[in-house]
Amino acid sequence: MNVSSLTPPELGSLLKQAGIFLQTGSFITHLQTSIPSVAEGIGLLYADYPLAEQGGFADFHVSLAPPRDLRRWFKPQVLFLSDGDAPFKPLPLDQAFPMLEWGLNWCVSSHANRYLIIHAAVVEKGGHAAILPAPPGSGKSTLCAALVHRGWRLLSDELTLVRIGDGKIIPLPRPVSLKNQSIDIIRRYEPDAIISRKVSDTITGTVAHMKPPTDSVTRAAETAQAAWVIFPKYQAGEAARLEVLPQSRAFMRVADNAFNYSLLGTKGFETMANLIDASRCYDFTYSVLDEAIETFDALKPPAPSM
């Protein structure tokens, strides 16, 4: 049973009462809320996602609710609660759905230490994964959104999960976060993309979220092998250009983008070292999405180690 099996009134009622048990990749989240914009976002962007057994096991128990003070009515706000605790300050009520997405990222990055967790998008084609670590404003999510509408599978827009032991990339396909100009760029580039309404004045500017392709959601149990680590950077007017990056430098840059590298100690070092050893590493500059897609489609995976 998927979220799309519920009518909007049924979804809203269930969220208000017992909550839903939403499966995203290998995680199950028990979610409760009475906020209409959150129910609307779930119905729009998570339509293809399976619902786990009601009342069963959940990795995370979260809710979104107004604060218990005057801010319920005066300049209304929303709190993200995990196991009844609020890890963040409240935000304006209009930002409730983006807060859910940020909160779910926090749940995974703070608790899923059976994986090495890298702050990076990751996409896959032919069983080979391209990991895209980059700071805000680099064009990472824009590039990721374009790739997954041109034959690449979305594994994650924000969190690359590397399984300790065999180094496989574990999919966590959730809505792609688009910011500021990226929203309209993707609307023009892929008119059929399903994108939520814009939410203004967040800490990162104006944000909206893009629904992952159905294929990415239905294949969420299929792992991938890391083949490339690519640091993208949008630069207006520049032709698409890949520049080989020494693995030693790539190691340090990826480690700087990992949430739990130090926490994992020796396991973290070994997992990171194996990931980099298995990958071709590049800096990538682009300005035109079609050129970027052509560059990615021409990538050759490393030869398998003997």
CA distance 158 to 150: 19
DSSP E strands in 4-146: the ranges are 20-24, 27-33, 60-65, 77-82, 91-92, 115-125, 128-133
Do 24 and 148 fall into the same domain? no
Do 152 and 240 fall into the same domain? yes
What was the pLDDT predicted at 46?
98
Residue range 221-255, pLDDT digits in tens = 999 999 999 999 999 999 999 999 999 999 999 99
Residue range 87-113, pLDDT digits in tens = 999 999 999 999 999 999 999 999 999
* Contact yes or no for 123/168 (Cβ under 8 A): no
Do 185 and 217 fall into the same domain? yes
* Contact yes or no for 282/245 (Cβ under 8 A): yes
Q: Select from 91, 111, 131 the last residue of a domain.
A: 111
Do 78 and 120 fall into the same domain? no
- pTM of this structure: 0.94
- Average model confidence (pLDDT) across the chain: 95
Do 81 and 159 fall into the same domain? no
| Overall average pLDDT of the 76-90 stretch | 94
What was the pLDDT predicted at 137?
80
Do 150 and 252 fall into the same domain? yes
Residue range 4-19, pLDDT digits in tens = 999 999 999 999 999 9
Residue 303 covered by a domain: no
Do 96 and 157 fall into the same domain? no
Domain of residue 15 covers: 3-111
Tell me the backbone φ, ψ of residue 40, rounded to 5 degrees. -65, -45
Across 71-85, 102-116, 251-265, 267-281, least confident range = 71-85
Residue 270 covered by a domain: yes
Q: Which residues pair with 160 in a beta bridge?
A: 118
Q: Which residues pair with 231 in a beta bridge?
A: 283
Q: Rounded to the nearest 10 degrees, how much is the dihedral formed by the CA atoms of 257, 110, 140, 100?
A: -160
Domain count, the chain: 2
| Overall average pLDDT of the 192-209 stretch | 95
At 71, the pLDDT band (50, 70, 90 cuts) reads low
Q: Select from 89, 111, 133 the last residue of a domain.
A: 111
Do 21 and 79 fall into the same domain? yes
Residue 281 covered by a domain: yes
Residue 49 covered by a domain: yes
Residue range 145-190, pLDDT digits in tens = 999 999 999 999 999 999 999 999 999 999 999 999 999 999 999 9
Across 118-132, 271-285, 290-304, least confident range = 290-304
Residue 304 covered by a domain: no
Residue 52 covered by a domain: yes
Do 81 and 132 fall into the same domain? no
Residue 302 covered by a domain: no
Higher pLDDT, 274 or 74: 274
For 23, the 3-state DSSP assignment is: strand
| Secondary structure element (H or E) that encloses residue 242, with its range | strand 241-244
At 74, the pLDDT band (50, 70, 90 cuts) reads low
Do 127 and 276 fall into the same domain? yes
Do 123 and 256 fall into the same domain? yes
Do 106 and 122 fall into the same domain? no
What was the pLDDT predicted at 301?
87
- Is the pLDDT confidence value at 70 over 70? no
Residue 38 covered by a domain: yes
Q: Select from 58, 80, 111 the last residue of a domain.
A: 111
